[in-house]
């Protein structure tokens, strides 16, 4: 074999090994990331049980009980807000964001009345949250 052929073979081997290593590393990282996402989704957020009561398993909420989940959430927010600090408001906001994300998955099945009531409750939360910020 000529020297240039040997050099070319070494370069190709190094490139192939490099690509193989990079692909394996990317696959490993991707698998770890998916495991982390599943863990976070399975875990309840702080205050989730407290604010949603029987609707705390957000992924189990159907279109038929979505409105009631928001009502329960806001009833508990109204009851507890007087003693909340910034961290509590952030936790409540995180629960609401997760509830909102799940609502989008059943949105087509919600009636107009339910959609309107949910929007009013979301607006009430923002109003109370802003009032909490002003109080601080």
pLDDT tens, 69-88?
Answer: 999 999 999 999 999 999 99
pTM of the model: 0.67
Per-residue pLDDT at 37: 45
Kindly give, in sequence order, each residue whose CB lies less than 8 Å from that of residue 62, ignoring residues fewer than 6 positions away. 106, 109
What would the pLDDT profile of 98-116 be if each residue is shown by its tens digit?
999 999 999 999 999 999 9
Angle, to 10 degrees, between the axis of helix 112-135 and the axis of helix 86-106?
170
Q: What is the largest CA-CA distance in the chain?
A: 83
The model's pLDDT over 22-63, given as tens digits with 9 standing for 90+, comes to 556 555 555 455 444 444 455 678 899 999 999 999 999 999
DSSP class of residue 58 equals G
Closest CA to 54 of 40, 69, 42: 69
**Chain position carrying tokens 């290593």:** 21
Q: What is the pLDDT of residue 111?
A: 97
**Comparison of pLDDT for 130 and 63, the residue scoring more:** 63
Structure-token pair, residue 119: 């929007």
């Amino acid at each position: 074999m000529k020297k240039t052929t040997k050099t070319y073979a070494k370069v190709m081997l190094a490139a192939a090994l490099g690509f193989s290593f990079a692909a394996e590393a990317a696959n490993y990282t991707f698998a770890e990331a998916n495991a982390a996402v599943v863990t976070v989704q399975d875990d309840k957020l702080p205050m989730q049980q407290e604010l949603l009561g029987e609707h705390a398993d957000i992924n189990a909420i159907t279109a038929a009980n979505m409105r009631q989940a928001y009502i329960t959430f806001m009833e508990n927010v109204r009851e507890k807000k007087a003693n909340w600090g910034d961290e509590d408001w952030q936790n409540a906001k995180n629960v609401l964001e997760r509830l909102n994300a799940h609502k989008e998955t059943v949105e087509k099945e919600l009636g107009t009345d339910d959609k309107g009531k949910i929007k009013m409750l979301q607006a009430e939360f923002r109003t109370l949250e802003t009032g909490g910020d002003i109080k601080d």
